[in-house]
Structure 1
């Protein structure tokens, strides 16, 4: 994906502990009127009216009921034709990194936009209405913020992406270089998960994939949505949270079992990714 150094990146401030924002836009606000790009992934559901997007120099018309996907780093600009109202979802690709242990293709609709998937999903497809309902449910949950709304929003987002994968892919061929690359990463993921406490290095993981460290890192980010080392940290922290809630092990024992040799570093990373200190989660 191309970056645009001459055009300032939009600083989308996503909450650290729950990196997703769902809002409703009436008309086209000044942020969307200019050419811009950002790291967050974006989903637009057109509730009313019509308009069009310019995305990387191509025009995409949209109307009521349409769903638009915009990747990280896509240079884009929105235009209103008539009475435009839409739900806008912004989220961090790393938000669903752990879920990709079970479905490595979860974010493929964004990574292969323009190849296997269109920016504007096929409006003639009978499943499009269901996707709109899922987005509307997410918006309601996000606005009301009732207990456990984060879990519901996350589950709806995974369901949305799974259905886009299932019903809107234009090419389900296997054996492509990308598919072979995914199988390579799947093998490495299995190795990591089999021994998360091992002090893995980028060089060791790349050697397991029979790739150079730079090529391996690029392929890993394409498939998983985050770097190998970031993914390993997320996996360790997820297991640590499980141990803290399901066992009586001391925090220092949990940290060691999950591959953290330094307790202060474990506390810092846990707070950063989970939003609470290990001691606070246990309480």
Structure 2
């Protein structure tokens, strides 16, 4: 916790692509973040949720989520969540874009002509899932020409999304996208110093807006008020420390920006649903 909002994903330059399964949600990805790499998530099992640009999407087995380079997102595990996570650099498909300039439109125009979560009822979904599984099998086996097959399958996947899942852009979607850089700059400051007792005025001053205007924009994109988001970040850090260290609870509370233990316990129970001692005892 406490890092800036942008994550740099380490992909090999020779073949900037990776695909693997994850069980549950790692602490770093339970905070709001964004990255330059493109990402596809396929829900293999279980249930969860994604908060993306202020909208919460309930996830179920079979869902496919696309995350573009500017999407602010965080994941939640609602029980037994297993995600196939594919990340890749747009350069992977540079040659294909020469013949199909719209190939990356599902990411470039995310929130405008394309939704982050594909329509699970669409008849093409079965074929898209099969393509993702085939890419993972090729990646794991690393047989002859596997990189060529993966590139071909990725191009095919995006071509189908482009053809079957496009919609008309709305002005509301365009307005939200235009405000994201402002909110990202505030998130970077919050993540850089999560224990700080930020006030609404201080956060609004970072981007030269009135507190009321800033609060409305922030909640529209993030899904929480600025101060509630600050509390969630502090509590996420506290849960991580409770689960991974044997430090005293009062010391953890202080490090996470809570001025006294009673306030920490009250806010912790209100948001987490358990006491700090119960979280530690469950380990």
Aligned residue number for residue 55 of structure 2: 58
Tell me, yes or no, if structure 1 residue 128 matches structure 2 residue 135: no
TM-score (norm 1): 0.57
Structure 1 CA distance for aligned equivalents of residues 28 and 151 of structure 2: 26
* 1:84 and 2:84 matched: no
Instruction: Describe how 1:36-75 pairs up with structure 2 within 5 A.
Output: 36-75=33-72
- How far did residue 109 of structure 1 move? 0.4
Q: Which residue of 2 aligns with 1:208?
A: none
Question: Structure 1: which 4+ aligned runs deviate by more than 4 Å?
Answer: none
Q: Give the aligned partner of residue 166 of structure 1.
A: 163
| CA deviations over 1:76-133 (Å, ceiling 9, x no partner) | 1000111101110000012212211110100000111112111000011010011000
Q: Which residue of 1 aligns with 2:253?
A: none
Tell me, what secondary structure is at the counterpart of 2:139? helix
1:145 lines up with 2:154 in the alignment: no
Between 160-169 and 26-35, the greater mean CA deviation after superposition: 26-35
State whether structure 2 residue 151 is matched by structure 1 residue 154: yes
Matches within 5 A, 1:1-283: 7-171=4-168
Q: What is the distance in 2 between the residues matched to 1:105 and 1:60?
A: 26
Structure 2 unaligned segments of length 5 or more: list them. Answer: 170-283
Q: Distance in 1 between matches of 2:26 and 2:141?
A: 24
**In structure 2, C-alpha distance between the alignment counterparts of 1:60 and 1:67, rounded to whole Å:** 11
* Aligned partner of residue 84 in structure 1, secondary structure: strand
SS of the residue corresponding to residue 110 of structure 2 reads: coil
Per the alignment, residue 194 of structure 1 pairs with none
Deviation at 1:34, TM superposition (A): 1.6
Preserved CA contact (<8 Å) 2:128 2:157: yes
Partner of 1:82: helix, strand, or coil?
strand
Q: Which has the higher contact order (CA 8 A, sep 6+)?
A: 2
Aligned residue-pair number: 169
CA distance in 1 between partners of 2:59 and 2:141 (Å): 28
Taking a change above 3 Å as real, the CA distance of residues 30 and 170 of structure 1, as seen in their structure-2 partners, is: same
**Pairwise CA distance, 1:7:** 2.8
Secondary structure of residue in 1 paired with 2:59: strand
CA distance in 1, matches of 2:144, 2:40: 24
Q: Tell me the distance in 2 between the aligned counterparts of 1:26 and 1:168.
A: 28
CA deviation after TM superposition for structure 1 residue 171, in Å: 3.2
Give 1:73 deviation, angstroms: 2.6
